[in-house]
Structure 1
């Protein structure tokens, strides 16, 4: 079986990277302000591979989470979930609209929500080689609207220690451009 060179490998190096740990912490802070806080959920879906953060989602939402194993660009998703998360996933897809339309069909319940995070657009000198779609805020909002979602809340945050940005020219540019955008979405 051929390995997909664009698929992020969840290994020890990935899990130990400080940027991921800080991103997970900031994401949980965002989730605490969610309209789903205190809601009774039966199950959730986390797009992508299972990570230690999936366990944090289960603890936060007090329900079990499944993870996807299909090609999110092409294959259908199935099930019914009160919450779906797509943290740092859409930028890796050729067709993020397909994935969002599939997720829309999975959301069930009066307060069902989709949470999405992705890096904000950066100039090509700073862009990641495994990202197909780094989007501006307006591009992300346009994608969500096209998929039939409305934004309830959004925020932006950085994932690096402030002193990192003083270590060179590219890190200094990252101080200006490198942010994560996060959204709480509901079906229109």
Structure 2
């Protein structure tokens, strides 16, 4: 349905997952600066406020603010040294997040030139689940999907069968 409208498969799958769990016109705090997916969510009717590029490892004030129904974090937590701190500090009652999964046949992504574009973590699904549960979240829905690339070789072949992304919809546990 969206194949020709989105530059990346993960945008299509992520949007479908978001729409399945969060109605349009919802007030969302999206972790990360505005990006192409921000525009996609806004076109779908979501009211998006982005964080401003602050280091969420040391400054969790953005997520500690009241007034948002949902926090979204699409491929953000792997860039944090200590994602637990920001996940625990979220005040909203709902969270929709996605992460790249660790691939056994490929090393974690790292940039030698851009200090913000580094993966400190590439989780396995169960590790991410445990992190959310420890931070006070109950996972209500999960989705994994592949990310094939148009290249020749063993690794590109494995990408057709091995899930690369993992998304969760979680709600804050009642204390």
TM-score range, shorter chain: 0.7 to 0.9
Q: d(CA) in 1 for partners of 2:85 and 2:125?
A: 19
Tell whether the 8 Å contact from 1:57 to 1:65 is kept in structure 2 after alignment. Answer: no
Q: Does 1:122 align with 2:103?
A: yes
Partner SS, residue 47 of structure 2: coil
Tell whether the 8 Å contact from 1:114 to 1:184 is kept in structure 2 after alignment. Answer: yes
- Pair 170,155 (structure 1): closer, same or farther in 2 beyond 3 Å: same
- Deviations 1:12-59 (CA, angstroms, capped at 9, x unpaired): xxxxxxx9622111101111211x325x53x32111121121122223
Question: Paired residues, what number?
Answer: 158
Partner SS, residue 33 of structure 1: helix
Question: Match of 1:142?
Answer: 130
- Pair 128,177 (structure 1): closer, same or farther in 2 beyond 3 Å: farther
Question: Match of 1:185?
Answer: 170
TM-align CA RMSD? 2.2
Partner SS, residue 99 of structure 2: strand
Per-residue deviation, 1:149: 0.3
Q: Does 1:65 align with 2:49?
A: yes
Tell whether the 8 Å contact from 2:147 to 2:160 is kept in structure 1 after alignment. Answer: no
Q: d(CA) in 2 for partners of 1:174 and 1:126?
A: 13
Greater share of residues in strand: 2
Q: Does 1:102 align with 2:86?
A: no
Question: Match of 2:114?
Answer: none
Q: d(CA) in 2 for partners of 1:126 and 1:175?
A: 17
Q: d(CA) in 1 for partners of 2:163 and 2:7?
A: 14
Partner SS, residue 37 of structure 2: helix
Tell whether the 8 Å contact from 2:95 to 2:170 is kept in structure 1 after alignment. Answer: yes
* Structure 1: 5+ residue stretches without partners: 1-18
Partner SS, residue 86 of structure 1: strand
Q: TM-score scaled by structure 2?
A: 0.80
Q: Does 1:44 align with 2:28?
A: yes
